[in-house]
Amino acid sequence: MAAKKEIEIKLRGKRFQISPAEAQKFLRTSGYGKDGHTKGKAPKYFVVVGGTKMPIKQALKRIMDKKGLGLTILDITTKDAVGIFRRLHFPIVVEGGAKGSKSSIMKYIGMFDFEGSSVEDKRKLYDHP
């Protein structure tokens, strides 16, 4: 952390101040592990705190909760989180969030090759002469 100075942030009409040291303290005791995000879309942006990679929006949410802002994760964008953590001089890592994405599904195209036709199978099952 090069900068030790506290910064002032205004987020969705709520103002708060935070220093890099305070943010680091909140995030080190956050309980987020390396695989802390398990539901929904896989995160693409991470903030690195003490050698641990955390999903960036969840990390900002933890700070907002500690500051008592009353905002939800839906109140912030990834752009908000990236901007705040850059101002705090935290390293940001961008990875491909591919969990359940089209690219991860598309690799199975052509893998399954079944004989027959679904139209013919339907006729055999439901159309009686």
Q: What was the pLDDT predicted at 113?
A: 63
Mean pLDDT computed over 103-112: 61
Query: pLDDT-derived band of residue 101, with 50, 70 and 90 as boundaries?
Result: low
Give residue 86's identity as a one-letter amino acid code. R
Residue pair 94/86 in contact (Cβ under 8 Å)? The answer is no
Dist CA 30 CA 59 (whole Å)? 8
Q: What was the pLDDT predicted at 122?
A: 80
- Residue position matching structure tokens 């090759």: 113
What would the pLDDT profile of 17-74 be if each residue is shown by its tens digit?
Answer: 999 999 999 998 755 544 444 566 778 899 998 888 999 999 999 999 999 999 999 9
Record the pTM: 0.65
Q: What was the pLDDT predicted at 115?
A: 73
SS3 54: strand
Q: What was the pLDDT predicted at 83?
A: 94
Mean pLDDT computed over 106-112: 61
Query: pLDDT-derived band of residue 1, with 50, 70 and 90 as boundaries?
Result: very low
Mean pLDDT computed over 89-99: 79
Residue pair 97/43 in contact (Cβ under 8 Å)? The answer is yes
